[in-house]
Structure formats: structure tokens, C-alpha cells
């Protein structure tokens, strides 16, 4: 199909319905500041079958956003350098920048054929300027499709929050909208200085991470397919999760086209996982900030049974603990990085937190897309829950163009009959 256009129609600022107490400041943790060169972009796609979304200017959706922001004063604030010279958030109720846009295609056409570069147009972002006093580090873009579909794009500096918090915030917004109690109320308090301290650069997202030409592809695997896959590796790893299997599968397939960097022929995979549940007491889902652990698994993966690699991934995650070092890693892609979001399967009936964001009459998102900005040259693999729930998962890869082309025709992946989402016209499948 012809190239689809996204037209930005208007820009406004949404403030909380009750003003924030003057002088309130939110200190960022060392881990938060260590994520400064990255951005986070999450897009929730809805069919809007019940026509719950009409016009954001006068719509109850805007009113409910103002209401829920009273619970999240950090999101309406602005980044500033504190007395120590470190980044902090001044909770001055400057508001969340909100953009309205229209898309000249239907939602179905978009999810089937939009390219990576086109999807980026559904989230609004400007890199932090030298003076961030008027710059909104948390942004929302409301995109209206032909025939009624809606995509809500949420973007923020990764210093502000991680994906788990974004998921909990959007779900809270939907609960305010429907006059339900909040399931995961926010916890707004930084991690203690000594915990998970960052030794990496705190440069902001205006930095250019890499010159690599990346391509992106998303593969969706059904629950029945994942059940069969886990059954096949049961003898190696009886308690394997969908993440264990898919991380091992994509790691081994990428390794097939990459030479090892060590003489002992080992390959390394940096696994990004959530540590909320590892702390004592555990952090709640609604913790505002970053609760991510980056740890490296190295082993031979070529000519090794896939079940053995699945077992290695599972054992690695099982052995993580609160005391384990974060190894000073804060940069997605300095090693091939795989993001684990298994902890988001916290809802009843094995429904993911991401797909619990229901605005209309039980209409959950048909797809949720997530991107990390400024990924380095080794690339990123994200294993996420799917709208189907249960064992179904989607895998989004951000890798060199030639590697994505290889994965897109890889026999071991294609025999699992994944559904390609947002594949783009230039992708062969």
C-alpha cells in the first residue's frame, strides 16, 4: 500500500485537576540517572468499537487524564539540576504535553503494513534541550485512525520510569476513566543511594548512541504454539517460561549469523529483568522509577541443543537476587540485550498488565508496542505479553538490517508460524 501519513493536528498541555504543593521535588535514584541516554515509547492500540473515544478536547478521556495526574505529580513536573548537580524533578505542575494526530489508514491496515519509521510517528518526542525548564519529559500522543481506531502513544525520558510503571500508569488512567479503584497505586520514592548504584554515564537522550542501521520486526506467537515449544524442552527445563524459550531461540538464531567475540566461542546475552519482587519488602508494581537489573549470561550457543540454552537462561534468572550486582550496565545494546517482561503477567486469568488498560466496555488493546530509544549497535530483543493472554508472547527485535532480514526467513522461527505485526512494506515474509 502507499506510504501512510500521520498528521499532527494540535498540541496542548494537560495539568492535574488539583494543583501540586509548591516546592515539591522528586529525587531520581542513581539507577534512574544511569538511564539518562535512553527514552521509552509505548503505544496502546484500540479498535474503539464502543466509540468511547470521540474528541479529546472535550472528551471525558481528557478529564480522566487530569484526574489521574493528581496522583502522579512527578509526571507533570520538569527536570532540573539540583544543588548536587544531579538530575531531579521539580513537581511544578507544568503539565503533560499532549498531541492529537490523525492517521490516513484504518487500524487494521496499519497493524498489517505500517513500517518501523511510520510507527515512530505515533509517539511525540523532542530531545532534551540545554534548558529543560519548559521541556516535558513525559508525553502523550492521541492518534485517530480512519473508521474509528485509536492509538495512545506514551513517551518519557527513561530517567523518569520503566515499562512496568508505564503499564501501571495507563491502567490507572483507564480505571479513573471508568470510575474504578486504582489497582496499582503509585509509590513515589527513590531507591536508597546504596542500592543498585550506577557507574555509567548520565548523559541525556540528546546523545547519539550508534550509527548502526537498525531494522525492527515484531513476531507474535500463539499460546498453543508456546505450549508445544515448552513441552519440547521439558526434559531440559521442566519449569521453563515463554521468555526462557524465546530468549534462547532468538539468541541462538542471531548467534548463527554473528561470529563469537571470544576465543572460546562463547556468545554473551545481557538480560534486562525487573527486580521489584527481589527486594525485601518488594517494591509495588506502581513504583515510579526504574527497577531494572542488567546481568550477563555467556556460553556456547552454536551447535548446542536449544533445550540446553533454555535451561541456562532459566537458571540464570532463578539465581538473580537483591544482592546481585547490576554490573554497572545501563546501556541497552552494548551487548545483545534481551528484555524480560514475564512479571507483567500479574492479572487474573493470566492477562498481562499491559492489556489490562481498558477504556471502553471491556475493550482491551489489540496490540501494545514498546520501543527503547538510543539502543547501541549490538541490538535489542524484547519479549512481551500478547493480547491473547496466557502463554502467548510477542518478540520485537531491533537489530542490524541484515540480521533482521535473516530472522525474517529463519526456518527455526518460521516453523512456529508467527504472525508478523507492523512488518512494513519493505520486509519480506
| pLDDT tens digits, one per residue of 311-332 | 999 999 999 875 544 544 557 8
All domains of the chain in start order, with CATH: 6-177 (3.30.559.10), 214-344+374-421 (3.30.559.10)
- Between the CA of residue 64 and those of 45, 123, 169, what are the distances in Å? 19, 20, 12
pLDDT in the model for residue 428: 33
CA pair distance 140, 124, nearest whole angstrom: 7
- The Cα 424–Cα 5 span in angstroms is 14
Cα-based angle 243, 245, 247 (whole degrees, multiple of 5): 60
Strands of 150-157's sheet in order across: 6-14, 96-106, 138-146, 150-157, 39-46, 367-372
Q: Quick check: 344 pLDDT over 50?
A: yes
In this prediction, what percent of the chain has a pLDDT beyond 90?
68
- Whole-angstrom Cα distance, residue 290 to residue 303? 37
- For position 56, what pLDDT does the model report? 58
Is-contact 214 398, C-beta < 8 A? yes
The grid coordinates of residue 263 equal 576465543
Are 315 and 241 contacting, i.e. CB atoms less than 8 angstroms apart?
no
Model confidence, pTM: 0.92
Q: Is the dihedral of CA 264, 306, 268, 404 positive or negative?
A: positive
How high is the pLDDT of residue 424? Answer: 56
More confident of the two residues 70 and 52: 70
pLDDT of residue 57: 57
Instruction: Say if residue 135's pLDDT is above 60.
Output: yes
Tell me if residue 396 falls in helix, strand or coil: strand
Residue 197 has a pLDDT of: 47
pLDDT confidence of residue 348: 60
Determine contact, residues 312/299, Cβ cutoff 8 Å.
yes
Q: Which residue has the higher pLDDT, 224 or 347?
A: 224
Q: What are phi and psi of 246, to 5 degrees?
A: -70, -35
Q: Is the pLDDT of residue 204 over 90?
A: no
CA distances, 211 to each of 151, 207, 260, 360 (Å): 30, 12, 21, 42
The yes-or-no verdict on residue 209 having pLDDT over 90 is: no
In the structure grid, which three cell numbers stand for residue 312, read together? 541456562
Measure CA 184 to chain center: 18
pLDDT of residue 55: 63
Distance (Å, rounded) from C-alpha 41 to C-alpha 122?
Answer: 10
* Residue 408, C-alpha cell as written in the block: 525474517
pLDDT at residue 351, rounded to an integer = 79
Calpha distance 40→352 (Å, rounded)? 19
- Tens digits of residue pLDDT in 379-403: 999 999 999 999 999 999 999 999 9
**Residue 10 grid cell:** 494540535
- What sign results for the dihedral spanned by CA atoms 272, 310, 400, 335? positive
pLDDT at 192: 65
pLDDT exceeds cutoff 90 at 124: no
Amino acid at each position: 500500500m502507499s506510504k501512510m501519513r500521520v498528521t499532527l493536528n494540535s498540541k496542548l498541555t494537560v495539568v492535574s485537576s488539583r494543583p501540586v504543593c509548591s516546592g515539591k521535588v522528586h529525587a531520581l535514584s542513581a539507577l534512574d540517572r544511569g538511564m539518562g541516554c535512553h527514552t521509552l515509547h509505548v503505544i496502546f492500540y484500540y479498535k474503539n468499537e464502543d466509540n468511547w473515544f470521540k474528541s479529546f478536547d472535550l472528551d471525558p478521556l481528557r478529564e480522566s487524564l487530569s484526574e489521574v495526574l493528581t496522583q502522579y505529580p512527578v509526571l507533570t513536573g520538569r527536570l532540573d539540576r539540583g544543588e548536587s548537580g544531579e538530575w531531579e524533578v521539580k513537581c511544578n505542575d507544568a503539565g503533560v504535553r499532549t498531541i492529537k494526530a490523525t492517521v490516513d489508514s484504518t487500524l487494521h491496515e496499519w497493524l498489517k503494513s505500517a513500517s518501523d519509521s511510520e510507527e515512530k510517528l505515533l509517539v511525540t518526542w523532542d530531545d532534551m534541550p540545554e534548558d529543560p525548564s519548559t521541556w516535558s519529559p513525559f508525553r502523550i500522543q492521541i492518534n485517530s485512525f480512519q473508521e474509528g481506531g485509536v492509538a495512545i502513544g506514551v513517551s518519557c525520558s527513561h530517567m523518569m520510569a520503566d515499562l512496568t510503571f508505564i503499564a501501571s500508569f495507563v491502567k490507572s488512567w483507564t480505571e479513573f476513566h471508568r470510575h474504578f479503584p486504582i489497582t496499582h497505586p503509585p509509590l513515589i520514592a527513590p531507591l536508597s543511594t546504596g542500592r543498585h548504584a550506577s557507574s555509567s554515564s548520565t548523559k541525556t537522550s540528546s546523545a547519539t548512541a550508534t550509527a548502526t542501521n537498525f531494522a525492527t520486526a515484531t513476531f507474535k506467537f500463539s499460546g498453543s504454539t508456546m505450549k508445544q515449544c515448552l513441552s519440547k524442552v521439558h526434559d531440559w527445563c521442566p519449569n521453563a517460561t515463554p521468555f526462557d524459550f524465546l530468549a534462547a531461540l532468538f539468541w541462538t538464531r542471531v548467534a548463527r549469523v554473528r561470529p563469537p567475540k571470544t576465543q572460546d566461542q562463547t556468545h554473551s546475552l545481557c538480560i534486562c529483568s525487573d527486580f521489584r519482587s527481589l527486594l525485601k519488602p518488594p517494591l509495588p508494581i506502581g513504583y515510579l522509577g526504574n527497577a531494572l537489573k542488567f546481568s550477563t549470561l555467556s556460553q556456547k550457543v552454536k551447535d548446542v541443543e536449544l533445550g540446553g540454552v533454555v535451561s541456562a537462561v532459566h537458571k540464570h534468572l532463578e539465581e538473580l537476587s537483591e544482592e546481585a550486582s547490576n554490573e554497572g550496565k545501563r546501556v541497552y545494546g552494548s551487548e545483545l540485550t534481551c528484555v524480560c517482561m514475564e512479571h507483567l503477567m500479574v492479572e487474573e486469568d493470566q492477562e498481562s498488565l499491559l492489556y489490562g488498560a481498558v477504556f471502553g466496555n471491556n475493550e482491551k488493546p489489540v496490540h501494545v508496542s514498546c520501543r527503547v530509544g538510543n539502543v547501541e549497535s549490538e541490538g535489542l530483543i524484547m519479549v512481551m505479553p500478547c493480547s491473547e493472554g496466557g502463554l502467548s508472547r510477542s518478540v520485537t527485535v531491533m537489530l542490524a538490517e541484515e540480521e533482521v532480514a535473516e530472522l525474517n526467513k529463519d526456518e527455526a522461527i518460521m516453523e512456529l508460524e508467527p504472525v508478523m505485526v507492523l512488518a512494513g512494506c519493505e520486509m519480506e515474509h
